[in-house]
Structure 1
Amino acid sequence: MNTSKQLHDRRAQRSRTRLRKVGNGRPRLSVYRSLKNIYVQVIDDVSGRTLVSASTMEKDLRASLRTGGDIGAATEIGKLIAERAIAAGVKEVAFDRGGYRYHGRVKALADAAREAGLAF
């Protein structure tokens, strides 16, 4: 029997494989969420490096957020990652939900990034 971590890793890998096929060389917006925080990176898979990142662990955000693990925090991170990506010259990304359902914090982050100008 597979553990929940193994099933999660399988879902995440399936998502990334699909993004490689349909991503057309666009950078990948990767999401990781824990119970207390949420982390986002824009990754260039061709060169294998992170272009920009944001998380609720950053000091300036931590002071303004009630908690790092709610929808409000995910919305703020979505806006911040979009601003940083556009400043770095990235306007289009492929959204990698990381094996998580497109619901709740993941959906809030994606919607906020779209509203801030990031296209995916």
Structure 2
Amino acid sequence: MTQSYIGTKQILAWEQDKDGQPGYAVKYADGYVSWSPKDVFEAAYIPIGHVDHLPAHQQRVIGEKAQLDDKVGKLTDFLDGEFFRSLDAAEQERLTVQLGAMREYQQILAERIAAF
């Protein structure tokens, strides 16, 4: 039986063309290196900058904030869209409260990162 999965991993990558196609070389934690087309790579990964000098737990906090920033941006855009306005008032309220909680969480992560 098949099911859906969502994965989270931190990788090292650099832009690299292959056969004239733009993409990224990807190095995984176990040392395995592969290549991914640009559009596939950018749909799957969010950049977190140069963090190799930081301890692993701090790298994870930075990654968590980057993912949250992406989700907040997408939810903000959704709340400004046509489909949101078609939802019933109770669901609009839940989504608005959710965005507020996410922004609070964003602020906490930002303060933790500033303290590194």
TM-score by length of 1: 0.29
Choose 1 or 2 for highest CA Rg: 2
Larger RCO, structure (CA 8 Å, separation 6 or more): 1
Q: Higher helix share goes to which structure?
A: 2
TM-score by length of 2: 0.30
